[in-house]
Amino acid sequence: MTPVEICHLYISSGHNFVGHHGRDPDEFPTIEVRSIECVAGRGIRGDRYFDFKDDYKGQITFFSLEVFDELCGALEVQGCSPALTRRNVVTHDVDLNKLIDQDFEVQGVRFRGTQECRPCYWMDRAIAVGAEKFLQGRGGLRARVLTDGTLRSTTRVAELVG
């Protein structure tokens, strides 16, 4: 596999949508950071899914910047951030669906792709009406963290924390 370019890294300390069916979402921000600490079998230190459940299949999530750009174009949405998808790692030029049921490595950290990170109806609220339907089959990748390590964004943004 060719080296993976990480365009954005995000964490959030709480769940805005999980467990909120029929209620308003919470308002935990998705924070862009320069790096994330991946802990084998546990997830991303500081993220809402860290130690969420034993052997959880979504310890880390990946999303394609190209898909996000296509989504914004198709729905004629401007000025929104990939942070709205609430995925952890935004990549460039990677077919994430090919990593389902595969072990793979990014910046020396090993992962196991477990399943598509399916979009839900909240995407229509977070991004725009039609986002859930557009993202079906391209919602990103859920994965387990197999080895400890640090991922770093290849994008240099001065105001990032971490």
| Chain-centre distance for alpha carbon 100 | 15
Residue 22, pLDDT score: 63
User: What are φ and ψ of residue 107, in 5° steps?
Assistant: 50, 40
List C-alpha distances in Å: 36 to 8, 77, 100, 147: 11, 29, 22, 13
Range of the domain at 29: 5-149
In-domain check, residue 82: yes
Q: Tell me, what CATH number does 42's domain have?
A: 2.40.33.20
Integer Cα distance of 155 and 22 in angstroms: 37
Residue 89, pLDDT score: 97
Number of domains comprising the chain: 1
In-domain check, residue 157: no
In-domain check, residue 53: yes
In-domain check, residue 159: no
Residue 23, pLDDT score: 55
pTM for this predicted structure: 0.88
Integer Cα distance of 147 and 103 in angstroms: 11
Integer Cα distance of 142 and 135 in angstroms: 14
Residues 91, 57 contacting (CB under 8 angstroms): no
pLDDT per residue rounded down to tens, the chain (162 residues)? 677 899 999 998 755 455 545 656 556 678 899 999 999 999 999 998 999 988 899 999 999 999 999 999 999 999 889 998 889 999 999 999 999 999 999 999 999 999 999 888 788 888 899 999 999 999 999 999 999 999 999 876 555 544
- Reading the block at residue 135, the tokens are 């993202």
In-domain check, residue 158: no
Residue 20, pLDDT score: 45
Residue 137, pLDDT score: 94
In-domain check, residue 156: no
Integer Cα distance of 67 and 75 in angstroms: 12
